[in-house]
């Protein structure tokens, strides 16, 4: 079902994503040049003879990149091929000095075979998205058209850096198998899952803003209940979740309109026009045949042993999906809270550090993080796609929050005071929560005798409210609590006040 012009219509979306992530490694896939191509590095300073295909230069496979691919493969529950090959994919473009890209053949199993990830489907239930393959290939260089009015420049620093291309699977033999992405939101959840897995494993920074994660988006539509897939289009090189979702939406509407007007969709390669949020035809689709994949005679096949796979498996950290399950089962967090706290590895690590084994604190720490820390971007910037890392947690540390929650738990301070301390810390007040509480004389009033005395005063001063309460207006309890809290300067424990008041008024 899809909404078009505000009406739901009887079409469904079929989406296939080809996601490229830049593999983290010191050096490039086939040369010793540094793989750090970030924009602060001067152009063409990290280019070896191999990268620009000088005559006689031979590529040598960087085994670490293969290990990274295996690690990612294990992270997406995939089969790892014990044997795979590289091939030359022929095409000409000025950012590709070799005249071909070394990739893995489209019609043979690459390093990483069939796998899956689990996302939340649009119906709120877990949904498996099948992955067809993930293969290693070389990245291209970058062309710069904005340096000179009439000339373009090529920067080959990125040329030959290892990429892992992850392709989702469509079960064309069983088109009713719905383990594929079928809405813009599911596409985003899938990409976030891929990103978190890659980051958790240290396989890639997987950062769309810097281009270390990009996706080609294949979209087709079909009438609900139809048993075969229709022609898709492919929109290339998308680098933001928002654009990807817009492009899918636009493409789906465009195709539905064509069908509803009796036309047919052609298998085109599209470009996304950021300004208008539209897609337009870039070229008609090329086939794998057009690329004439040649075996690369300079490279040996990739051979992977069981021992190698086991060695890598043993170094794998807990993956976000497992962390989520742990938070739900061990700490009793809701699915939503568990998801928020596993958005990045740094967030979940921060949370785990704050909980520090004290299960009884977990829920409270989760609440503080989600409703307070995330609400203060000056302290917490992890939602920012650019950073995604945690030196953003500049002011409040995990042990600060743990101490604050401890103090509430042991009735040293009440929730209101905790909030004040929290704000003071955000404002740069130095010291631990306990030190700040001492400094400002914040202490919860625990002397029940003193609280009782104040309650008696408040009751004596409001005889008509007491009468109304006793004749059934129990909502007035809040009025009394509020007055008592005011008189104690907000230092009484509201729960204790509530209890005593209730007794005295009955």
Contacting positions for ligand ADP (CB under 6 A): 14-18, 106, 167-170, 218-220, 229, 232, 288
Among residues 19 and 483, whose Cβ is nearest to Mg ion?
A: 19
146 Cβ contact partners less than 8 Å away, ≥ 6 residues apart:
none
Name the minimum Å distance from CB 217 to ligand ADP: 9
* Nearest residue to 444 (alpha-carbon basis) of 503, 505, 497, 372: 497
Per the CB < 8 A criterion, the answer to whether 166 and 113 are in contact is: no
Picking from 490, 315, 497, the residue whose alpha carbon sits closest to that of residue 418 is 490
Taking the complex as a whole, how short is the minimal distance between the CB of residue 243 and ligand ADP, in angstroms? 18
Q: Which does 168 bind (CB under 5 to 8 A by kind): Mg ion, ligand ADP, none?
A: ligand ADP
16 binds, among Mg ion, ligand ADP, none (CB under 5 to 8 A by kind): ligand ADP
Q: How far is the CB of 277 from ligand ADP (least distance, A)?
A: 21
Q: 167 contacts which partner out of Mg ion, ligand ADP, none, CB within 5 to 8 A by kind?
A: ligand ADP
- Looking at beta carbons only, is 247 or 396 nearer to ligand ADP? 247
Which partner from the list Mg ion, ligand ADP, none does 229 bind, CB cut-off 5 to 8 Å by kind? ligand ADP
Q: Which of ligand ADP, Mg ion, none sits in contact with 170, Cβ below 5 to 8 A by type? A: ligand ADP
19 vs 412, which CB is nearer to ligand ADP?
Answer: 19
**How many of the chain's residues bind Mg ion (CB under 5 A)?**
1
CB of 299 to ligand ADP, least distance (A): 21
Out of ligand ADP, Mg ion, none, what residue 426 binds, judged by CB under 5 to 8 A for its kind, is none
- Which span (13-21, 154-162, 354-362, 411-419) binds Mg ion, by CB under 5 A? 13-21
CB of 189 vs ligand ADP, minimal distance in Å: 16
How far apart are CB 168 and Mg ion at their closest, in Å?
11
Residue number of the CB atom closest to ligand ADP = 16
Name which of 18 and 118 has its Cβ closer to Mg ion.
18
Residue with Cβ nearer Mg ion (106 or 477): 106
Cβ neighbours, 10 Å, residue 12: 18
E-strand ranges in 326-466 read none
Supply 386's token pair.
């650019």
DSSP structure class, residue 27: B
Q: Least distance to ligand ADP from the beta carbon of 15, Å?
A: 6
* DSSP letter (8 states) at residue 286: P
**Partner touching 328 among ligand ADP, Mg ion, none, CB below 5 to 8 Å by kind:** none
Please tell me the distance from the alpha carbon of residue 398 to that of residue 352, in angstroms, as a whole number. Answer: 9
How many Cβ atoms from other residues are within 10 Å of residue 101's Cβ?
20
Closest residue to Mg ion, judged by C-beta, is 18
Q: Which helix (H) or strand (E) holds 198?
A: helix 184-201
Shortest distance, position 221 Cβ to ligand ADP, whole Å? 8
Q: How far is the CB of 313 from ligand ADP (least distance, A)?
A: 26
**CA-CA distance, 374 to 372, in Å (whole number)?**
6
Cβ atoms of residues 352 and 229 within 8 Å: no
Residues 17-36 that bind Mg ion (CB under 5 A): 18
Q: What is the DSSP letter of 474?
A: G
Structure tokens at 70: 């295996």
Rounded distance between C-alpha atoms, residue 456 and residue 444, angstroms: 19
CB-based contact 139:164 (threshold 8 Å): no
Q: Which partner, ligand ADP, Mg ion, none, binds residue 255 by CB below 5 to 8 Å per kind?
A: none
* H-type alpha helices, 227-381: 241-260, 288-291, 306-313, 320-331, 335-340, 345-355, 359-367
CA distance 91 to 150: 25
CB 415 within 8 A of CB 385: no
Binding site for Mg ion (CB under 5 A): 18
């Amino acid at each position: 079902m899809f909404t078009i012009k505000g009406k739901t219509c009887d079409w469904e979306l079929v989406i296939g994503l080809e996601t490229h992530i830049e593999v983290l490694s010191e050096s490039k896939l086939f040369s010793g040049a540094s793989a750090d191509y970030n924009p602060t590095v001067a152009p063409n300073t990290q280019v070896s003879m191999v990268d620009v295909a000088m005559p006689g230069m031979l590529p040598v496979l960087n085994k670490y990149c293969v290990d990274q691919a295996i690690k990612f493969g294990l992270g997406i529950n995939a089969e790892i091929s014990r044997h795979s090959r590289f091939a030359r994919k022929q095409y000409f473009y000025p950012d590709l000095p070799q005249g071909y890209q070394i990739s893995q053949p489209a019609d043979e199993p690459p390093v990483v075979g069939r796998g899956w990830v689990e996302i939340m489907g649009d119906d709120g239930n877990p949904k498996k998205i099948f992955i067809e393959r993930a293969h290693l290939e070389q990245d291209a260089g970058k062309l710069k058209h904005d340096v000179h009015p009439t000339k373009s420049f090529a920067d080959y620093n990125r040329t030959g850096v290892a990429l892992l291309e992850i392709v989702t699977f469509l079960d064309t033999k069983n088109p009713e198998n719905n383990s594929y992405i079928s809405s813009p939101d599911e596409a985003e959840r899938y990409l976030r899952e891929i990103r978190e897995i890659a980051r958790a494993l240290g396989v890639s920074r997987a950062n769309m803003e810097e281009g270390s994660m990009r996706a080609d988006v294949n979209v087709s539509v079909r009438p609900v209940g139809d048993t075969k897939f229709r022609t898709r289009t492919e929109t290339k090189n998308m680098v933001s979740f928002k654009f990807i979702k817009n492009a899918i939406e636009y493409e789906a509407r465009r195709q539905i309109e064509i069908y509803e007007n009796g036309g047919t969709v052609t298998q085109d390669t599209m470009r996304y026009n950021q300004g208008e949020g539209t897609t337009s035809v870039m070229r008609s689709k090329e086939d794998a045949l057009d690329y004439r994949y040649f075996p690369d005679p300079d490279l040996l096949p990739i051979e992977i042993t069981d021992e190698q796979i086991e060695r890598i498996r043993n170094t794998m950290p807990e993956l976000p999906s497992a962390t989520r399950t742990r938070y739900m089962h061990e700490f009793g967090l809701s699915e939503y809270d568990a998801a928020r706290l596993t958005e990045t590895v740094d967030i979940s690590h921060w949370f785990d550090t704050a909980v520090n084994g004290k299960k009884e604190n977990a829920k409270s720490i989760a609440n503080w993080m989600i409703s307070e820390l995330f609400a203060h971007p000056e302290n917490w910037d992890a939602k920012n796609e650019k950073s995604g890392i945690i030196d953003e947690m500049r002011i409040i540390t995990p042990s600060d929050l743990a101490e604050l929650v401890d103090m509430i738990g042991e009735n040293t301070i009440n929730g209101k005071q905790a909030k004040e301390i929290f704000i003071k810390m955000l404002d740069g007040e130095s010291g631990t929560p306990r030190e700040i509480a001492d400094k400002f004389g914040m202490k919860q009033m625990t002397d029940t005798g003193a609280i009782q005395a104040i309650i008696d005063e408040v009751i004596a001063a409001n005889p008509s409210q007491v009468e109304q309460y006793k004749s059934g207006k129990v909502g007035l309890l809040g009025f009394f609590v509020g007055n008592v809290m005011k008189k104690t300067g907000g230092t009484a424990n509201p729960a204790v006040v509530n209890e005593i008041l209730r007794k005295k008024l009955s």
